[in-house]
Amino acid sequence: MTAQNTAQDKTIKQVIQWILEANSERDIQEAVGTKFPGENARSAIEAAVKEITAIGKEDQAFTRGWALASTKELTRKMIEVGDFANALRGIKQASQLAVTED
């Protein structure tokens, strides 16, 4: 991996984060220009959109498994901090995710 690819990967990762935070395209273009001078904002946005689109095409079993594992981890953390109301919600969600449609 070249230094340029690493810089582009960092830019794309940051653009994905900005998209997930619901920033506008214009704001993202400006931010890329400020935070990553010399990077092509349009190319970075297109690459980020392509990555997000690919996530939407993942296997349903994988996505369900990931959601279940994440829910269990978050529930464990809620129990650790004494947030039992939300831990119960996590347990309920985990039980719903565990049901397969097969």
For the chain, domain boundaries: 3-55, 60-98
Task: Give per-residue pLDDT as tens, 36-50.
Answer: 999 999 999 999 999
pLDDT at 98: 84
Q: What is the pLDDT of residue 4?
A: 60
pLDDT value, residue 7 = 73
Summarize pLDDT for 54-100 with one digit per residue, the tens: 988 989 889 889 999 999 999 999 999 999 999 999 999 999 888 87
pTM: 0.67
Sign of the Cα pseudo-torsion (13, 16, 22, 26, in order) = positive
